[in-house]
């Protein structure tokens, strides 16, 4: 039995337990603490050496660039050739392309790049985007045989497409206007802020093979701060904003840049139960209203289907070559044939 001295030290009666059992428990506890300390304490070596990281992308990511396989990209019949995937960055582009089709009749071919299997590292794709990230666009606008214009990075693609096809400045206001500057402000805001949401919060909260409290706390705080930036802007606080969309009442590429990340997040459609974890419903009412307005657009619905390789079959249009493909080529239609 534990001595009366020990009982007095803990200021409460101790249960019957043998000394051996008590010492064993203490030893196990001490061992667990040592293991945790080793897991949580990392001293970087003088020279970093790459080792597979584990997790969903650990076998794909490497510290070198360039092609890993010789393979050309397919080419369709239209001047615009998109090579992408329906991730948030890919959806930005197809949302705009569908808006341009609806307003001006712009057509395009869209081919999927399966980043989970490493298709972004083929020689054809790397020749369009040396950074091996989707989306990437080729524009064949000269005579036959001329080298196409290659455009990569989602923000660059959206601005390029508007400069080429948005004759009415419907989605990007005219050069020299305050409204255009404000749209560009928010385009670049998303480019700078997005990695904290996706590569930071999304990775450590949802994808990482181990849960690290420090990392989750750090990126949760930053994600909620960004959500509050959007909430306050849409609510018209701080002397700016207050319209239906990010730049007044005009729907622009600023909305298309932000919605696939932050709009889909507040809708609860990415990162598992992140919307509950972040207290979206209780905290960001204006952001939720804005997301609903963007979501309701027909071009948004179509854009989210293009190059989607997962989810409900009716929401998957692996390749897009004609507007009629949405009616006849989604996976539910193809499987029923």
- State the pLDDT confidence band at 52, using cuts at 50, 70 and 90: confident
Question: Hey, which residues does 138 pair with through a beta bridge?
Answer: 81, 150
CB 195 within 8 A of CB 248: no
- Interval 311-324 mean pLDDT: 98
Give the span between the Cα atoms of 86 and 309, in whole angstroms.
8
Mean pLDDT computed over 49-61: 80
- Residue 9 is predicted with a pLDDT of 41
Mean pLDDT of 19-36: 57
Name the pTM for this structure: 0.87
Per-residue pLDDT band for 144 (boundaries 50, 70, 90) equals confident
pLDDT at res. 14 = 44
Distance CA 289, CA 300 (A): 15
Q: Which two tokens stand for residue 230?
A: 């959007």
Query: What residue spans of the chain are helical by DSSP H?
Result: 4-10, 19-40, 88-104, 123-128, 154-165, 178-195, 213-234, 253-258, 264-266, 274-277, 280-283, 285-295, 298-305, 325-328, 331-336
Q: Judge whether residue 18 has pLDDT over 70.
A: no
Q: Which helix (H) or strand (E) holds 139?
A: strand 136-139
Q: What is the pLDDT of residues 279-313, one digit of tens each?
A: 999 999 999 999 999 999 999 999 999 999 999 99
What is the tens place of the pLDDT at every residue in 197-222? 999 999 999 999 899 999 999 999 99
User: Phi and psi (nearest 5°) for 145?
Assistant: 100, -15
What is residue 7's predicted lDDT score, i.e. its pLDDT?
41
Look at residue 4 in the predicted model and tell me its pLDDT: 45
Query: CA–CA separation, 136 vs 120, rounded Å?
Result: 10
DSSP reduced 3-state for 223: helix
Helices (H) and strands (E) in the chain, counts: 15, 4
Q: What percent of the chain has pLDDT over 90?
A: 82
């Amino acid at each position: 039995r534990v001595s009366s001295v020990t009982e007095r030290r803990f200021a409460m009666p101790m249960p019957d337990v043998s000394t051996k059992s008590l010492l064993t428990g203490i030893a196990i506890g001490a061992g667990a603490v040592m293991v945790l300390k080793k897991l949580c304490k990392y001293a970087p070596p003088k020279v970093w050496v790459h080792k597979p990281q584990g997790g969903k992308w650990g076998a794909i990511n490497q510290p070198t660039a360039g092609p890993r396989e010789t393979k050309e990209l397919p080419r369709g019949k239209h001047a615009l050739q998109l090579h992408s995937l329906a991730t948030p960055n890919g959806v930005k582009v197809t949302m705009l392309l569908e808006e341009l089709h609806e307003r001006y009749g712009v057509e395009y071919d869209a081919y999927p790049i399966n980043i989970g299997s490493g298709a972004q590292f083929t020689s054809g794709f790397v020749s369009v985007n040396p950074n091996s990230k989707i989306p990437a666009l080729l524009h064949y606008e000269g005579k036959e045989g001329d080298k196409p214009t290659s455009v990569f990075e989602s923000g660059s693609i959206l601005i390029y497409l508007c400069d080429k096809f948005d004759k009415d400045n419907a989605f990007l206001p005219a050069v020299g206007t305050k409204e255009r500057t404000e749209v560009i402000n928010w385009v670049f805001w998303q480019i700078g802020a997005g990695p904290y949401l996706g590569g930071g919060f999304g990775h450590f909260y949802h994808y990482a093979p181990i849960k690290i409290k420090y990392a989750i706390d750090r990126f949760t705080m930053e994600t909620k701060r960004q959500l509050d930036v959007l909430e306050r802007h849409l609510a018209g606080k701080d002397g700016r904003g207050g319209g239906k969309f990010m730049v007044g009442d005009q729907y622009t590429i600023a909305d298309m840049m932000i919605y696939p990340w932050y709009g889909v997040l507040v809708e609860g459609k990415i990162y598992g139960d992140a919307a509950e974890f972040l207290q979206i419903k209780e905290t960001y009412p204006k952001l939720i209203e804005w997301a609903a307005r963007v979501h309701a657009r027909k071009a948004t619905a179509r854009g989210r289907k293009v190059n989607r390789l997962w989810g409900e079959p009716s929401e998957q249009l692996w390749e897009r070559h004609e507007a009629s493909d949405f009616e006849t080529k989604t996976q539910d239609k193809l499987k029923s044939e």
